[in-house]
Structure 1
Amino acid sequence: MTNRSNSWRLVTLALGAVFAIAGCGPSNDGDPKPTGNAPTSSSGVAADVPTGFDPCKDIPQSVLDSEKLHGQDKADSNASGGIKWRGCSWVQSDGYAGSIQTTNITLDAVRAKKFPDANEFTINGRKAISTRQVDSHPEAACTLNVEMKGGSLEFNLSNPPSNRNTGQLNTCDLTRTLAEKVVPTLPATA
């Protein structure tokens, strides 16, 4: 495993910790409630991540190639409150590192946290929201959630300014570009 892969694994764990620390899980009053038809637990989130799309297997190689992404690593994690992420991470040599995961975090839950630089839009007919959730280096990280039944498909990119190929680019623009390539591959039922 390369130092870059080890670094990305740490970034993935750190982003998972950000959600746990920031409390992206439900509040004590039961809000926010998940969207879709998935059963919910007493914590106010779906019991599991959305089904019907596995980021590790279902993203076409042509999409990964178009972004020059390689070095796939499993990126599953759990946080307090029953929050779960299931997916994989990739790196772009001398560019950004990113993870794409299904999660039982809904867009309502993300919206309720009032993260900085929140922007809502639609990708391929699905609601989406991008946010800056890493206080220590907000310009270098972006999270984008796309609505799925019972949660969302979450894109997390880390793009430090020192990255030769992408460091000068807006991380949320890079995240949206990646999402616009992946989301059309989601089954309509997911």
Structure 2
Amino acid sequence: MASWSGLVRGAVLGAGLIMLVSACNSIGESKGNTSSASVTPTIAVDVPAGFDACKDIPQSVIQQEQLIKPDPDTADRPGGMKWRGCGWVQSDGYSPTIDMTNITLAMVRANKDFTVDEELTVGGRAALTSHVSGQDPHADCAINVEVKGGSLEISVDNPPSRRKSGNQHACEIAKRLAGQIVPAIPATL
């Protein structure tokens, strides 16, 4: 189950990455010069391996956050972007999608369709929270935590109408989840 915010986020990231790659390719082009070089951003071919965002989340986190109904989330977008993980729900609460992705923090920062809300460190790893520009970050927010070859992305959909969590900021929920999950990621990743 990919959350609606996750689908929007993926589509926006895809469009932004295609524009970024096109812009970088045109930087190296020069008319009449046969020695021009092309510069392209590097994206890993696949999501980082070594942490399964469906199976390796500590059971204590699932219980404490009352997460139920894990549903595999597998998304491939233009430009080679990939997400592998699971979407969850909290009955009458927020819905997180927890994925490993080959999207890097630099790619999120470079995408003008996103607003970076905060740069922080989670479990000794660089991280940032962001939301799709124009959307309410109180209701839809994601955190990307740096890993080799991409990031752990936790996207939280938390409409204000949710009885259990509607009064909480989606970015605060995402940061809390990241703080609980990151220690389970192998240090080599």
TM-score by length of 2: 0.83
Which position in structure 1 is the counterpart of 2:144? 145
What residue number does 1:47 align with? 45
Percent identical pairs in the alignment equals 46
Q: Contact conserved, 1:24 with 1:110, CA < 8 A, in 2?
A: no
SS in 1 for 2:152: strand
Q: Deviations over 1:127-153 (max 9, x none)?
A: 000011263444310010000000000
SS in 1 for 2:21: coil
Question: Aligned-residue CA RMSD in angstroms?
Answer: 1.9
Match of 1:71 among 62, 66, 69: 69
Structure 1 residues 136 and 123: alpha-carbon distance in aligned structure 2, compared to 1, 3 A threshold: closer
CA distance in 1, matches of 2:188, 2:140: 30
Partner of 1:176: 175
Change (3 A) 1:10 1:118: closer
Match of 1:106 among 97, 104, 107: 104
Gaps of 5+ in 1: 31-41
**Structure 2 unpaired stretches of 5+:** 26-39
2:89 is the counterpart of 1:91: yes
Structure 2 equivalent of residue 39 of structure 1? none
> Quick check: which one's strand share is greater?
2
Cα shift at 1:24:
4.2
Give the one of 5, 9, 15 matched to 1:15: 9
C-alpha contact (below 8 Å) 1:134/1:141 kept by paired residues: no
Closer, same or farther in 2 for the Cα pair 1:102/1:112, shift >3 Å? same
Q: Is the 8 A contact 1:76 1:86 kept in 2?
A: yes
Q: CA deviation at 1:53?
A: 0.4
- Which amino acid is 2:49 matched to? T
The one-letter code of the counterpart of 2:9 is L
CA contact 2:137–2:171 (8 Å) conserved in 1: no
Q: Is the 8 A contact 2:71 2:87 kept in 1?
A: yes
Q: Distance in 2 between matches of 1:62 and 1:134?
A: 33
Closer/same/farther in 2, CA of residues 133 and 10 from structure 1, 3 Å limit = closer
Query: How many angstroms does 1:60 deviate by?
Result: 1.5
Q: Which moved more, 1:107-116 or 1:57-66?
A: 107-116
Aligned residue identity for 2:164:
N
Structure 1 position 132 matched with structure 2 position 131: yes
TM superposition shift of 1:10: 4.4
Equivalent residue for 1:187? 186
Structure with max Cα Rg? 2
How far does the alpha carbon of each residue in 1:30-65 deviate from its partner, in whole angstroms, 9 at most, with x for none? 6xxxxxxxxxxx662111111110111111211111
Q: Distance in 2 between matches of 1:117 and 1:139?
A: 13
- What TM-score do you get using the length of structure 1 for normalisation? 0.83
